[in-house]
């Protein structure tokens, strides 16, 4: 389940400024982040008179504009979409979804408080998982200063993104890193773990590196030590690894594949 966290706070409390720093911090740690911003009234993404504006004004229920760098979808729903409905539109391939402004939703909340804006917090304590503030409150949640983006990032990672028992897969093809969706990683790890269970030298290793060449040669190391494999296990390893790459779009002529699995 992809975690969803809502940053909330009163107008001019500095939510967006804090959130900018948190997003940069999560990206620096290698996480993929989707952000959903709530707006009370109407808004315009489009420019009056441009093609997409004209198509929407003509009555289109959905207008999509796409380029090699960006894609935007403009919908005109019959009623406001819930946070969960929007999350379903954007979560694929993400590690976390962060919303700003959904103060009445039931998601875990991090409130941004600034004393010059208000003298009391907006949220009920039971709804808060953390507070970003310029003064201390007598409540039982972690509290961070408005300038402690690093602390907030570490809190989010430790509370929502660091899951013990999971394996992380790093794939490179011809020396270039390749993104793998979480469910593909999980299927690959489960298959590899089944193969490794038959190898006494690799069953308990915390780092597995698999290298497969175009000539169908394979090398397996476990915690830095080379592991001998019987021919049928080697062949299964090659087929599984090449099958992983074949299933990914946009990859051709895979001369060398390297998969690193970090097991916790």
Distance CA 26, CA 194 (A): 33
Q: What's residue 150's pLDDT?
A: 92
Instruction: Assess whether 26 and 117 both reside in one domain.
Output: yes
Q: What's residue 162's pLDDT?
A: 66
Instruction: Assess whether 131 and 32 both reside in one domain.
Output: yes
Q: What's residue 60's pLDDT?
A: 75
Q: What's residue 24's pLDDT?
A: 93
- Residue range(s) defining the domain that contains residue 171: 167-263
- As a whole number, mean pLDDT of residues 38-51 equals 63
User: Last residue of some domain: 114, 140, 161?
Assistant: 161
User: Last residue of some domain: 161, 176, 198?
Assistant: 161
- As a whole number, mean pLDDT of residues 59-69 equals 74
Q: Which range has the worst mean pLDDT, 118-122, 159-163, 168-172, 256-260?
A: 159-163
Q: Is the pLDDT of residue 264 over 70?
A: no
Does 200 fall in a domain? yes
Q: Is the pLDDT of residue 240 over 90?
A: no
Instruction: Assess whether 205 and 128 both reside in one domain.
Output: no
Q: β-pairing, 4-8 with 109-113?
A: parallel
């Amino acid at each position: 389940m992809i975690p969803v966290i809502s940053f909330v706070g009163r107008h001019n409390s500095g939510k967006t400024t804090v959130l900018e720093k948190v997003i940069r911090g999560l990206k620096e740690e290698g996480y993929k982040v989707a952000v959903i911003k709530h707006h009370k009234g109407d808004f315009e993404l489009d420019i009056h008179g441009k093609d997409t504006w004209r198509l929407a004004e003509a009555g289109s229920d959905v207008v999509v504009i796409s380029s090699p760098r960006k894609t935007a979808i403009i919908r005109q729903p019959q009623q406001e979409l819930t946070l969960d409905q929007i999350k379903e539109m954007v979560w694929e391939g993400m590690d976390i979804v962060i919303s700003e402004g959904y103060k009445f939703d039931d998601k875990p909340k991090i409130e941004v408080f600034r004393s010059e804006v208000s003298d009391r917090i907006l949220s009920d304590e039971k709804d808060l998982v953390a507070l970003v503030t310029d003064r201390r409150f007598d409540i039982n949640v972690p509290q961070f200063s408005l300038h402690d983006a690093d602390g907030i990032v570490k809190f989010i990672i430790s509370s929502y993104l660091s899951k013990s028992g999971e394996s992380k897969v790093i794939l490179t093809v011809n020396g270039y890193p390749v993104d793998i969706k979480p469910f593909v990683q999980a299927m690959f790890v489960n298959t590899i773990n089944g193969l490794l269970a038959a190898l006494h030298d690799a069953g308990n290793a915390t780092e597995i590196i698999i290298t497969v060449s175009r000539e169908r040669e394979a090398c397996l190391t476990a915690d830095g030590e080379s592991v001998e494999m019987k021919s049928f296990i080697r062949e299964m390893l090659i087929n599984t690894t090449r099958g992983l790459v074949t299933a990914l779009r946009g990859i051709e002529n895979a001369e060398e594949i390297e998969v690193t699995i970090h097991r916790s």
